[in-house]
Amino acid sequence: MRAATMAFLGLGLITYGLKSFGPLFLGGDRRLPAALERLAELVPAPLLAALVLVSSVAEGAGFVFDARVGGLVAAGLALRFRANFLVTVLVAAAATAGLRWMGA
């Protein structure tokens, strides 16, 4: 087998192992300690924000600040003013499109 195939299969097995860890060891009545439960509730939001930011400004080994950053700022402002999800997405898309139209 090729090395890439072996790596793919190995990573797949590791992924399934990690995903099955919780249900196998914490199934039924068992629960995580309270501190870990609080941490598990807090982690997804900043992780998603970090993924959005990196996918928006990272290009290769550097950073690119273009119209996408303007869209993120507009989305952040919309969220700051408590806009719902659809409005936030539309504001971000309009800001990005407007900045691209202006040549940013």
> What does the buried/exposed string (b/e) look like for 67-102 if buried means 16 or more CB atoms within 10 Å of the residue's CB?
bbbbbbebbeebeeeeeeeeebeebbeebbeebeee
Average pLDDT over residues 20-44: 80
Pick 27 or 75 by higher pLDDT. Answer: 75
Q: What is the pLDDT of residue 67?
A: 87
Give CA torsion, residues 63, 67, 72, 76, to 10 deg. 130
At residue 64's C-alpha, the angle toward residues 63 and 70, to 5°, is 125
pLDDT in tens, 34-90: 888 888 888 888 888 888 888 878 877 777 888 888 998 999 999 999 999 999 999
Q: What is the pLDDT of residue 53?
A: 81
63 strand-pairing partners:
58
pTM reported for the whole predicted model:
0.54
Cα atoms in the Cβ-side hemisphere of radius 13 Å centred on 91: 17
Q: What is the pLDDT of residue 104?
A: 65
Determine the residue type at 8.
F
